[in-house]
Every structure is written in structure tokens, then in C-alpha cells.
Amino acid sequence: MEKIFNLTSTFKALDEDDSGVNITGYASTKDFDRAGDTIMPEAWTKGGLNNFEKNPIILFNHNYDKPIGRATGLKVTENGLEMKAKISKSAPENVATLVKEGILGAFSVGFRIKDADYLEETDGLKIKDAELFEVSVVSVPCNQAATFSLAKSFDSEAEYEDFKKTFKNSVDLAGQSLAKDEDSFEASDTPDGTEKSVQKEMTMSEVQTPEIDLEAFAKKVADETAAKIAIRQAEEKAAAEAEAKAAEEAEVAKAAQEEEVKQSIRTGIESGTERLLADVQKELNDRNADMEETLAQYKKELEEKSDEISKMRESKRVFADRSEKSDISKWGQDFMAAHMLGVMTRKGWETDFARDIQEKAGINYAANAADIDQEVSSQIEKEIMHELKVARLFREIPVNGGATVLPIQTDAGKAAFQTGAATSGNLENRPQVTANQYNAKQVTLNAYRLISSTFMDNDVDEQVLINLMPMLVESVARAHGRAVEDAILNGAGSITGLDGYAAASSTTLDISDADRLTAATLLGAREQMGKYGLMPSDVAYIVSQNSYFDLLNDANFQTLDEVGSDLAARVVGTIGAVYGSPVIVSEEFPAEAAGAPAAFAVNTRNYVVPRLRGVSVEQDYEVMNQRRVLVASQSLGFEEIIAGASGAEPSVKIDFVA
């Protein structure tokens, strides 16, 4: 509530000195007034006095232009807020003299209610937190028992109903008598003149010659007794409600504890199973898809936890997007798993898992063999693509054989303006091959077989294979992905690779001097590319892991949060950019040594990846060794379209030197 309320109390003049008059009194007490309101002493202990204590100026009649003194002490006691102040002798309008003579004997405390409880029994407020704004010396109203309606301070009846409060003025004449009630109302001035305020008058000083009004005194005793009874009833009711609530909370806590125990048991089982699967996955990755040794190592544990693994796998399968049956693409992952399982078990599409998938998908393999085989191959390719970063920089070209001739158009020289009656032929290659003649060129695209093989014991349980299928497929994909990345960077077999195609940069990194790769070094390599380095979007930088960490220390290297996510969406694997060209990091760089590459600057349009058909997974059985041989194969290559020349290099490498 942002309204400011004024609590008016009397004070006593204690003594005086050369500088002014000292006064003291209670700003508020914890007693209930006739309206059923009370300000708890602890309401002033929650930071509500902090702002006033920074500049404790005493005003006259709430006039900010008339400071008359300074508060010298604020103390929260068990009875309420006790205040001491000194009124300056130089205060305007002879205030100090009037205080000394007892003519002025009250101060008004302006405060804001920050937190309160509504008491239904007394229809009043129990104020628990308040903030003190200002203190003024004011004239005590002639009628101390005047009352008023708080509703006049609110903008609407609804706002008033929210509070249900009525403040009344009361005078306790040192416990001897009560004055008669008459209506009175006094509004205090605020600094901006716009906030509403209400005053609650309460006399706290002694009266010299009070006249005892027995009727009023009896009414006061009756009111206080009724208030105490109401409070006691409210406390008893609150205690009963608290006891019932405590019992309810105890039941809820007990149920939650039982559920927590059950959950911990389930979590323990699941976490143990998940740790086992994580260990198997790590071993498969470390052993480069050597399934035989890995499955043999964990054979016992996998068989013991077969049921748990199966339930976890089923719980993670989502069928929400498969409402349409007969759509092979929606079941691609399942068909791939069924195909791999059939190959491993030599049962083809006759495994229970394969029959279950065909039934759920509403697709029969016998009638859709070609389409399903194509989808399976595509799914395996997608799994491998997830492991590729460098290879995805370059265009793939489907080929129909191991060697395919591709005609290409080389760069042409400039045409010439005619200067005479006739112009000789001037269409030439750039650089020139034959004068006045353009020679077409062709390049041979070669696709080489990439094979990964592994062995599997004959006695591996079919259910274990089903549960581990995602990890087995991922391991095969990672083995192929790493081999493709290594071949493109370093060359392998008949594939030359960037290390063989790229021209050496004039700038090198000295291992002995611990030289670091910088954005300036990459820019220098791009300059050496000539016309192939003109377009930043056609250039990509491929760096090793250590070189990537070197770039992070360079202010000119822009990370993804600086260049935006659009670049990462267009170039998979991007970790940043240097002057508009993406930077790709690869783990397939050789160890740092003299002559080994640290980074490449490449024009991606000048290199292609020819691919012959898709990925196939086959098997054979070794009777002597009682084991199956699993072979995953694909055919691809890496070719440079146009060879580099001095001042026009499609790729440049930055090498280490000793």
C-alpha cells in the first residue's frame, strides 16, 4: 500500500540547554485502538527506519520548508517505538518556547504500511512492517476522542473493501479517563501535495488535571476486554488450524518420502544401466568399432541387464510422428536397426524385431525391398554424415563407376576491343596455354573403396544386439567418418588429400619458439591464394585442436556468438570466423612436428567428393572360428578440379617448422 499514514502522539519536554529543548515520547505502541488496529514493535525492526535515520530532521506541521530540530534517538522497545528529539531555539514561529510552555505537545509520525495481517475478529489491522517517512511537531486537536472513516482516503469502495480498516483517535489519559467522542479529521501535507494521507491521533503524555468520565472508562474496559477475548479466540483458532495443517503436511511428507525411496530405487537401477551402456559406448569408440572384443568384455553384464536396457530403449522410442503407415521414411531408423540385426544374426528380415517393425509400420519387406534397402542405406549415410565436418565443406558428385571423366571449364583470358578492320582470335586460357586458342580440360573423378570390418562371436544374444544397436551403428559411422576426414586432410591410399594439393604458405609456425596461430597468419595464407581467396564465402579455414585454442587468444578471431548462428547453419562444424570466412576444427591433424600442417586455407568450390552408390553392410561366417565377420563399406574419393599456379592457389597450408 503506497498511501502515507500519520500517527500523532504527544510528547513531554524534558529539559533545555543553550541550543534547544529536548523532548521524548512514544511514536507508536502495541496497544489496540478502538478500530481494532495495532502496530507491533517489530514492525520497525525490518529496515523501515533506515531512510529516516540518514537525515532525521524534525518538521513543523508537516511543512518541509520549516525544519525545527533533529531526532537524537530512535529505540524499539517491547512497548513500541520510542523517540527523542531536540528542538532548536532558532526554530521559526517561537516553536521552542511554545514546546517549553506546553502549548505545543504532540508530534505526528508519517509512515507507510509495508505488511499487515487483517484480523477478522476485530476488523482491524495487525501491522507487521512499516516504513518511517517524516516526523513533525503539531498542535494537539482540541477534541482528542474524534474518529474518522479511512474509506475517505481511498479512491474506490473496492479499494477500501480490500483493506477493511478504520482508524480512530483515542486518548489514554495516563490510565485515568477517556475523553468524549466527537468527529474530527486532519490530513497531513506531503512534499508533492498529491499523495493522500490520514492521521491517527493518539495521546501518549500525561494530563495534569484530567476529569474522570466513569461511563467512558467503563466503555474502555469493556472494549479492551472484548478485544482480548477476540484475540484469544483468534489465537486458539489459528493454533487449531496450524495443528491440522501440520498433520496434513506430515502426511504429505510421509507420502513424498515413500515416493522418494521408490524413485531412488528406480534411479539406482536406471543409472547403473546407463553407466554400463556409457562404458560400452566408450569402449566401442576407443576400439574403433571392434565389436567382438567389446561385447566379449561386457557379455555377462549386458545379458544380466537385458530386460532393463530393453525397457529403457522402448521408453525412449517415439511414435507420435508415425500416424501414417506405409511411409518408409518415418520408419527409417527402425528399418536400419532391423537390417543391421538381420545381418549380424544371419536371419535377414526374419528376426522377431524385424517382423514387429513391419507390422507396426504396415510395410512388408518382400513387397518393398528396393525402397527399404535404399532407405536403410540413406540412414547409414546420415549417421556417417553426423560424424563429418571437413568433408561437408565440399560438394558431393554421384558417379557411376570407379573412374568418371568430368569436363570442366577453366578460367578464360580477357577479350580484346577491335582496333582495325579485323581482329585475330583472342579467346585463350588463363593463364595462356596456346596463343589465340582456348583448350578445354577434363578431370577424372576416382572413387575408392572404404571398408571397416569387425568380428562377433556366434553366441551373442539377439536381445543384447537389439539393445546395443544404436551404439553399434554409431560406432560404425564414427569409424567411417574419421577415416573420411583423415583422407581429405592427410591423404590415404590413392587419395592425395589437402596436404598433398595445398601450396606451402610463406609463413610457418616455429615449434621451438612456441609460435601461435593467429587470424593474421590465416589472412596471409588467404592472400597467397590470389583470385581463389577473393570471396570470403568461398574460403574456409581448417585448423587443428591446438591451433583453435591459439585462435581463442586472438581478438581478431570471431566466435559464433559474434558472427551469429547463420554461419553455423550453412557450414556444419563451424566454431568461428576470420574476416568473414568460417573456421572448422578437426581432430584428424597429425601430431605437431616439423613439416606437419597446422592449418589449411581452402577454396571449397575447387574440390569435390565423388561418391559411388551408398553404404552397404554385409556379413560372412567363419565356421572354423565360430564367428561372424561384419563389413561396412562405401566408395568415395577427393579430387582437385583445377590445379594451383603461382599467385593463384586454391589451397594453402601453414606448416610447423623445427
Q: How do strand 651-657 and strand 581-585 relate by DSSP bridges?
A: unpaired
Lowest mean pLDDT among 18-32, 381-395, 492-506: 18-32
pLDDT single digits (tens) 116-164: 888 777 777 788 888 888 888 887 543 343 333 333 344 555 554 565 4
Catalytic residue among 134, 201, 383, 485: 134
Lowest mean pLDDT among 8-17, 102-111, 174-183, 463-472: 174-183
**Torsional sign, CA 565, 571, 575, 576:** negative
The amino acid occupying position 542 is I
How far is the C-alpha of 414 from the C-alpha of 592, rounded, in Å? 44
pLDDT at res. 463: 76
Summary mean pLDDT of the chain: 76
Task: Give 487's Cβ-side CA count (13 Å radius).
Answer: 22
* Biggest CA-to-CA distance, the chain: 137
pLDDT single digits (tens) 170-209: 333 333 333 334 333 333 333 443 333 344 444 334 334 4
- Band (485; pLDDT cuts 50, 70, 90): very high
155 Cβ contact partners less than 8 Å away, ≥ 6 residues apart: none
How far is the C-alpha of 234 from the C-alpha of 242, rounded, in Å? 12
Mean pLDDT in residue range 349-354:
86
- Band (26; pLDDT cuts 50, 70, 90): confident
How far is the C-alpha of 20 from the C-alpha of 96, rounded, in Å? 7
| Angle, in degrees to the nearest 10, between helices 332-345 and 352-361 | 160
pLDDT at res. 599: 95
**DSSP three-state, residue 429:** strand
Task: Give 387's Cβ-side CA count (13 Å radius).
Answer: 21
Is 134 annotated as catalytic?
Answer: yes
Catalytic residue among 9, 28, 62, 201: 62
pLDDT at res. 305: 63
pLDDT of 418 > 90? The answer is no
Is 271 annotated as catalytic?
Answer: no
Mean pLDDT in residue range 373-394:
84
The amino acid occupying position 306 is S
* Range among 120-129, 413-422, 447-456, 578-587 with highest mean pLDDT value: 578-587
The length of the chain, given as a count of residues: 658
pLDDT at res. 311: 58
- Band (502; pLDDT cuts 50, 70, 90): very high
Q: Residue 3 in contact with residue 198, Cβ under 8 Å? A: yes
How far is the C-alpha of 198 from the C-alpha of 140, rounded, in Å? 15
Lowest mean pLDDT among 311-315, 416-420, 474-478, 554-558: 311-315
Residue 541 cell numbers, joined: 579455414
> CA-CA-CA-CA torsion for 503, 509, 510, 515, nearest 10 degrees?
180
Catalytic residue among 9, 28, 108, 547: 108
Measured in degrees and rounded to the nearest 5, phi and psi for residue 507 equal -100, 130
How far is the C-alpha of 576 from the C-alpha of 598, rounded, in Å? 17
Strand partners, 451: 633
pLDDT single digits (tens) 594-647: 999 999 999 999 999 999 988 888 878 888 888 878 788 999 999 999 888 888
pLDDT at res. 649: 94
Q: Residue 355 in contact with residue 362, Cβ under 8 Å? A: no
Residue 353 cell numbers, joined: 524385431
Q: Which of 222, 201, 170 is nearest to 33 (CA)?
A: 170
Strand partners, 453: 631
pLDDT of 487 > 90? The answer is yes
pLDDT single digits (tens) 259-287: 776 665 555 545 566 676 677 666 666 65
Q: Which residues of 68-77 are buried (b: 16+ CB within 10 A; e: fewer)?
A: bbebeebebe
pLDDT at res. 598: 94
- Band (168; pLDDT cuts 50, 70, 90): very low
pLDDT at res. 202: 41
**DSSP three-state, residue 615:** strand
pLDDT at res. 445: 93
Q: Which of 238, 143, 172, 183 is nearest to 31 (CA)?
A: 172
500 Cβ contact partners less than 8 Å away, ≥ 6 residues apart: 491
- Band (488; pLDDT cuts 50, 70, 90): very high
> In angstroms, what CA-CA distances link 239 with 116, 178, 235, 242?
19, 35, 6, 5
